[in-house]
Amino acid sequence: MKQTGLLAGTRVLDLTRVLAGPYCGMMLADMGAEVIKIEVPGKGDDSRGNAPLVKGESAYYMNLNRNKRGMTLNLKSEQGKEILKKLVAKSDIILENYRPGVMEKLGLGYEELRKINPAIVYGAVSGFGHYGPYSKRAGYDIIGQAMSGLMSTTGWADGSPTRTGTAIADVMGGLSCCTGVLAAYTNRLRTGMGDKVDVSLVDSMVSSLEIINMIYLCTGRIPTKIGNRYEAIYPYDSFQAKDGMAIIACGNDKLYNALKERLQIPELEHEMFATNIDRVKNHAPLKEILEKWTVERNIDDIVDFLLEVGIPSAPINTIDRVVKDPHIAGAREMFVEVEHPVAGRIKLTGNQLKFTNHKVEIKKPAPLLGQHTQEILAEILGIDEDEFNLLGVAGVY
């Protein structure tokens, strides 16, 4: 199948499993790269067993591995290693998220692979990165969220530290790897030299904490859990409505003045709310005043009333509302259907990148385990059917 899109003609070998690495590979595949998912024979990516399952197929796996072709390869066998090296010689990018040192033990680390292909871009995602005192520790999303400080600032003041609803450290790790790989690939196109991109889940989350870090670095105050409000701006919070909760987000004095004008509540004129700094300091009484107004109204009525005069407001949507939203699901196509050979017609989460001159499309479902092994080996390495069968007998795939 001819590749189209911004990254058409770029070949990626994706050895990653579960979420962070596959998310990076998914982004590259959605943008048109030829991404070859390489899995352990017989077992495959651990996430193939992750819920929810549709006719025995993991929706978790199907979402993160769409637009990829799939093959199996035993990297513990000498023939398997040689095949991977031959594929590296004819590829642009390789992705892995093994614990640091595993690929080196296999003889497939960056220093070895760059001898075969000096232009190869090697993207590695791990919990703590490939150097430093914690580099050999196992890394999972919840560990990234915990050690970065995110969990200590997430939740309500009287509650326990809380992980986000999604695996945000893994997602940030995948996005960071994608960004780094594309930067290294751009440099490679200019200079002919590849690079190793070393991404840590913890580093990615520390970077994402932006103002949280700066509060401590500049003032010595340790940020704590503050619910849904924001440290730097107020009102920028969730407010109770009759039928749920709504967001009001006044990011500057102009918007707060518009809010005062719209609501006509005398207490909002108090001097303790005169500037943003004042409002941040006095957020508790301000929230109480605003919530007396919101609690008497339905979410959509609040949002519509404020949006009419340009005040940022939104419902706190449940997922059933999100997937029916005319903007998110409709115009922005954030949920798309594909036909899977086993699961049948299934909806996946769309891609967030939109380009003026190129359409990011989800054309292919995630591969079945080893689905394209023979096709890939024949197409790229010229391995005929007899040789392929002998490799199968030897347990190479």
Indicate which residues carry an active-site annotation.
Answer: 170
- 11, two tokens: 């070949």
In 3D, which of 135, 139, 178, 169 has the Cα closest to residue 151? 169
**The dihedral sign for the CA sequence 339, 56, 169, 280:** positive
**Cα–Cα distance list, 396 to 36, 40, 81 (Å):** 17, 10, 9
- 381, two tokens: 């390495």
Sequence-separated (6 or more) residues with CB below 8 Å from residue 45: 17, 18, 22, 37, 39, 61, 65
Buried b (16+ CB within 10 A) or exposed e, 120-142: bbbbbbbbbbbeeeebeeebbbe
Strand order in the sheet with 11-14: 68-72, 34-39, 11-14, 93-96, 121-126, 195-200
**Cα–Cα distance list, 305 to 5, 235, 313, 377 (Å):** 41, 16, 9, 60
Give the CA dihedral 232, 238, 240, 245, nearest 10 degrees: 170
